[in-house]
């Protein structure tokens, strides 16, 4: 299942490996990429040397879906702690995710204090590197413009620094997703993902492997971006290699966080919070997380038939059983009253996450809101299209027409101008 970007619009298109030029290097761990697009590892190895400091936080309170707020938890869909076979309490998926939220929020707060309320660190440019970095960011922008046109348009309102940083994050996410969902996915093994993660750690230590890595390595020195959401996205790719069923929504929630909610946590430090926002940092991150979960749930509901043909079912097994449905019903592609009722409940849950996400968009920096509103409005309309297809997501693909997309863009822009 392709990752659904939370604050970035994914167009779900196949990208040729030649565009990113990283699959071979990930497989064998040694290839240097196409010199016409990337510069050698030696030339960029010492571009940046700053290390991100990270702080661990813990949290032991029972949590509720979909909002997780410090000091109190809004509740729409209940979840609880899980007990393992030995009777010991295990950490629920939402608590694992909330710990990452707290960690990223603390990093942002600390950076704001030490930087005198600036959310972008001043450039530190080594001799001979500025032109290479500009080339790296330009390449990231070209990829975004070609494969995520709506998102790219939305970034035009951002400041140049934020714009380039979001492009770099977008490209890394697409490259990561291509490992397990691209045309060469059959060649990817768990060890290849381990090498990709080691490469990520090098990147955060200022040792990028190629041009596109260099853009992200520069980004994480300027913004308070933590490595954990990036590592968690790679974990989502590992999950796709070993898992094709989800026992309950707690398991599915964690998967949705890995492949989509992480993008929100990566992006908010770059997009920034509005100066006049009265919201807590944690609540803004929770809204970004909710949008990622909502987008991924929407992708799952849209692609039921496509995933089934690949032997995958991204739906809670316990809820299917409660509805009187089984894997065989999904593989058969039968649209029955049981299926319609099941889908109504799944769509309702996705909409609750969208509602939660909407609360936080206005808290973002005004220049960053347009692509977020566009993502929210367009993905939410996909749920309407599933209903319009009489819940037949086996043989009919729900999509938002170009006309509706064009109408959504000015609406998203108008909403982006509202004050918190």
Q: Compute the Cα dihedral for 374, 377, 378, 379 and give only its sign.
A: positive
Q: What is the mean pLDDT of the chain?
A: 78
Tokens of 41: 């590892």
- Structure confidence at residue 17 (pLDDT): 37
- Rounded to two decimals, the pTM is 0.77
Tell me 246's DSSP state.
B
- Angstrom distance (rounded) from CA 176 to CA 162: 21
Q: For the segment 287-336, what is each residue's pLDDT rounded down to a tens digit? A: 999 999 999 999 999 999 999 999 999 999 999 999 999 999 999 999 99
- Structure confidence at residue 316 (pLDDT): 98
What φ, ψ does residue 73 adopt, rounded to 5°? -125, 115
Instruction: Concatenate the DSSP letters of all residues of 80-96 into one string.
Output: --EE-TTSPEEPPHHHH
- Structure confidence at residue 184 (pLDDT): 78
Q: Looking at the DSSP assignment, which residues form a beta bridge with residue 246?
A: 316
Q: What are the residue ranges of helices labelled H in 223-315?
A: 228-242, 249-256, 262-271, 281-302, 304-308
Contacts for 302-305: CB closer than 8 Å, 24+ residues apart: 302/382, 302/386, 302/393, 302/397, 302/398, 303/1, 303/393, 303/397, 304/330, 304/393, 304/394, 305/333, 305/393, 305/394, 305/395, 305/397
Q: Looking at the DSSP assignment, which residues form a beta bridge with residue 89?
A: 83
The answer to whether position 324 is within a domain reads yes
Q: How distant, in Å, are the alpha carbons of 6, 374, 410 from that of 407?
A: 21, 10, 6
Residues sharing a CB contact under 8 Å with residue 258, sequence separation 6 or more, in sequence order: 232, 233, 235, 236, 239
**Looking at 11-20, 127-136, 352-361, which range is the least confident one?**
11-20
The answer to whether position 23 is within a domain reads no
The answer to whether position 402 is within a domain reads yes
The answer to whether position 29 is within a domain reads no
Residues sharing a CB contact under 8 Å with residue 33, sequence separation 6 or more, in sequence order: 21, 22, 25, 209, 210, 211
**Looking at 126-130, 229-233, 329-333, 379-383, which range is the least confident one?**
126-130
Whether pLDDT at 196 is above 90: yes
- Structure confidence at residue 111 (pLDDT): 58
Whether pLDDT at 219 is above 70: yes
**Tokens 């030995």 appear where?**
86
Q: What angle do CA 161, 23, 199 make, to 5 degrees?
A: 55
- Angstrom distance (rounded) from CA 149 to CA 293: 22
The answer to whether position 15 is within a domain reads no
The answer to whether position 63 is within a domain reads no
Q: What share of the chain is helix, strand, coil (3-state, %, to 5)?
A: 60, 5, 35
Q: What is the mean pLDDT of residues 1-22?
A: 39
CA 308 to chain centroid, in Å, comes to 23
Q: For the segment 26-57, what is each residue's pLDDT rounded down to a tens digit? A: 433 333 333 233 333 333 333 333 333 333 33
Q: What is the mean pLDDT of residues 155-176?
A: 94
- Structure confidence at residue 108 (pLDDT): 63
The answer to whether position 47 is within a domain reads no
**How many other β-carbons are positioned within 10 Å of the β-carbon of residue 325?**
19
- Angstrom distance (rounded) from CA 401 to CA 399: 6
Tokens of 216: 């992200």
**Looking at 91-105, 173-187, 192-206, 212-226, which range is the least confident one?**
91-105
- Structure confidence at residue 420 (pLDDT): 73
The answer to whether position 349 is within a domain reads yes
- Structure confidence at residue 39 (pLDDT): 35
Tell me 17's DSSP state.
H
Question: Comparing C-alpha atoms, which of 223, 23, 20, 11 is closest to residue 104?
Answer: 223
- Angstrom distance (rounded) from CA 141 to CA 348: 36
Q: In the chain, how many domains are there?
A: 1
- Angstrom distance (rounded) from CA 307 to CA 89: 33
**How many other β-carbons are positioned within 10 Å of the β-carbon of residue 247?**
10
SS3 of residue 3 by DSSP: coil
Whether pLDDT at 182 is above 90: no
**Looking at 20-34, 157-171, 236-250, 353-367, which range is the least confident one?**
20-34
What φ, ψ does residue 380 adopt, rounded to 5°? -65, -35
182 vs 332, more confident: 332
Domain span holding position 404: 96-114+128-417
Question: Comparing C-alpha atoms, which of 116, 148, 131 is closest to residue 12?
Answer: 148
- Structure confidence at residue 46 (pLDDT): 38
Q: For the segment 81-126, what is each residue's pLDDT rounded down to a tens digit? A: 333 444 443 567 777 776 776 766 676 666 555 544 444 444 444 4
Q: For the segment 136-155, what is each residue's pLDDT rounded down to a tens digit? A: 999 999 999 988 887 888 88
Tokens of 181: 């969902």
């Amino acid at each position: 299942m392709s990752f659904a970007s939370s604050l970035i619009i994914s167009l779900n298109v196949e990208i040729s490996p030649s565009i990113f030029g990283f699959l071979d290097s990930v497989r064998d761990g040694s290839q240097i990429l196409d010199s016409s697009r990337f510069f050698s590892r030696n030339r960029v190895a010492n571009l940046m040397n700053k290390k991100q400091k990270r702080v661990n936080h813990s949290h032991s309170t029972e949590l509720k879906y979909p909002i997780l707020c410090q000091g109190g938890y809004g509740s729409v869909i209940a979840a609880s702690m899980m007990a393992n076979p030995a009777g010991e309490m295990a950490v629920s998926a939402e608590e694992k995710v909330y710990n990452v939220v707290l960690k990223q929020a603390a990093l942002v707060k600390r950076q704001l204090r030490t930087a005198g309320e600036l959310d972008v660190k001043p450039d530190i440019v080594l001799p001979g590197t500025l032109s290479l970095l500009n080339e790296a960011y330009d390449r990231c922008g070209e990829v975004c413009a070609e494969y995520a046109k709506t998102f790219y348009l939305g970034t035009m309102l951002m400041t140049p620094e934020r714009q380039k940083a979001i492009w770099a994050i977008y490209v890394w996410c697409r490259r990561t997703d291509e490992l397990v969902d691209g045309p060469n996915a059959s060649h990817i093994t768990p060890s290849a993902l381990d090498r990709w993660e080691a490469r990520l750690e090098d990147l955060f230590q200022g040792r990028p492997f190629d041009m596109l890595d260099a853009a992200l390595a520069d980004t994480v020195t300027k913004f308070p971006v933590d490595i954990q959401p990036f590592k968690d996205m790679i974990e989502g790719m590992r999950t796709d290699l070993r898992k094709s069923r989800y026992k309950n929504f707690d398991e599915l929630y964690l998967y949705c966080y890995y492949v989509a909610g992480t993008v929100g946590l990566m992006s908010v430090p770059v997009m920034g919070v509005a100066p006049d926002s009265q919201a807590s940092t944690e609540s803004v991150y929770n809204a970004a997380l909710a949008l990622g979960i909502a987008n991924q749930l929407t992708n799952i509901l849209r692609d039921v038939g496509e995933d089934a043909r690949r032997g995958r079912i991204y739906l809670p097994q316990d809820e299917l059983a409660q509805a009187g449905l089984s894997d065989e019903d999904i593989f058969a592609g039968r649209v029955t009253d049981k299926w319609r009722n099941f889908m109504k409940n799944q769509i309702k849950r996705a909409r609750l996450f969208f509602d939660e996400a909407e609360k936080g968009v206005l808290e973002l920096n005004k220049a960053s809101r347009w692509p977020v509103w566009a993502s929210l409005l367009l993905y939410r309309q996909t749920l309407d299209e599933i209903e319009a297809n009489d819940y037949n997501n086996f043989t009919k693909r729900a999509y938002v027409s170009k006309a509706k997309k064009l109408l959504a863009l000015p609406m998203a822009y108008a909403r982006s101008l509202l004050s918190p």
